Structure 1
Amino acid sequence: MLSEIQTYLERLSDRRTAILKTLNGLDPDALDWKPLATDANSLTVLAVHSLGAERRWLHEVVGGKKVQRDRDAEFRARAQDVTALKAMYTAAAVESEQILSQLSAEDMDATRKLPQGAHTVRWAILHVLEHYCEHLAQMYLTRQLWENRTNRPHEI
């Protein structure tokens, strides 16, 4: 396996672990709570959407596997058992590793043509990492706001 791929897999694993740690110990009310009535997402939505993006970009675009993704439904997701989310993340991680571990240096520079433009395989992998980081930061903040919502009700 390319050392570049090994690094990407480690970073992906770190992001997934951090997301699941952020959800750990929360009940459905906390998982579905939004800090604002509009233009904000719950922890459930952010977790489901982030995973949907990984499956789309790594499994479908990079790996060539058909993914049944309903992006709009990701933003309507309601709390699942955290155990179910962990299982979904574990299954996606296994599939992502199988796909990425087979890539060659030439594959990394290969271009995938999509309706929204052409991107290299490397770009797709980095995009997933970037996407996870963006939503993980939102999840950290959302959890902090949830945990402090009764202490400072006028600031939220």
Structure 2
Amino acid sequence: MIDKDTYLRFCDEALVAMRDTVTDLGDGLADRRPDLPGANSPYAILTHCLGVCAYWGSTVNLGREVPRDRDAEFSATGPVADLAAATDRLRADFAGWVGEADAGMPPANPPRGRHHHDTYATQGEVLLHVYEELAQHRGQVEITRDVLRAQAS
């Protein structure tokens, strides 16, 4: 098992990398979707990741409701500076939620609904799920950036 600080370092690396990619793309390109069926913009992907961290880290694990509109995350647009600031605020909040989590205890508010087909028996499993999502979406943001740049040239 890894300690919470190490876990947070991995999550932070993924969030910071996505934040920096979105920032580097700028307001016009970060909001753009690649010309591919079902593709999302880098801005929307990062917005979704913030929702993932808040929902699973607080609502599911600790039972503290964090408002979330999952469907709206995928159509989110706006200034990249605002999203970068929201990312940094979330990183601080997430560190607090992870600090309060008890890896061996069951989640306080197990997920329900169409998007939650998996069942996680412990808060530690929930946190692993969060990192899984961050890692895969980091790669998605990087590939999306590359496609957008290629399509723009």
What is the TM-score normalised by the length of structure 1?
0.84
**8 Å Cα contact 2:43/2:80 also seen in 1:** no
Deviation at 1:149, TM superposition (A): 1.5
Residue number in structure 2 paired with 1:125: 127
SS of 1:89's equivalent? helix
Aligned structure 1 segments of 4 or more residues deviating by more than 4 angstroms: none
Residue number in structure 2 paired with 1:89: 87
Query: Is the alpha carbon distance of 1:38 and 1:49 closer, same or farther for their aligned partners in structure 2, counting shifts above 3 Å?
Result: same
Measured on the aligned residues, the alpha-carbon RMSD in Å equals: 1.9
Residue number in structure 2 paired with 1:154: none
Among 106, 114, 123, the alignment partner of 2:111 is 114
Query: How many residues end up aligned between the 2 structures?
Result: 146
Whichever of the two has the greater Rg, that structure is 1
Deviation at 1:37, TM superposition (A): 4.8
Instruction: Point out the structure with the larger strand share.
Output: 1
**8 Å Cα contact 1:59/1:95 also seen in 2:** no
| Structure 1 counterpart of 2:25, one-letter code | L
SS of 1:114's equivalent? coil
**8 Å Cα contact 1:108/1:122 also seen in 2:** yes
Deviation at 1:102, TM superposition (A): 3.1
CA distance in 2, matches of 1:84, 1:18: 16
The runs of 5 or more residues in structure 1 that have no matched partner are: 152-156
| Structure 1 counterpart of 2:127, one-letter code | I
The runs of 5 or more residues in structure 2 that have no matched partner are: none
CA distance in 1, matches of 2:70, 2:134: 15
Residue number in structure 1 paired with 2:28: 29
What is the TM-score normalised by the length of structure 2?
0.86
**8 Å Cα contact 1:51/1:89 also seen in 2:** yes
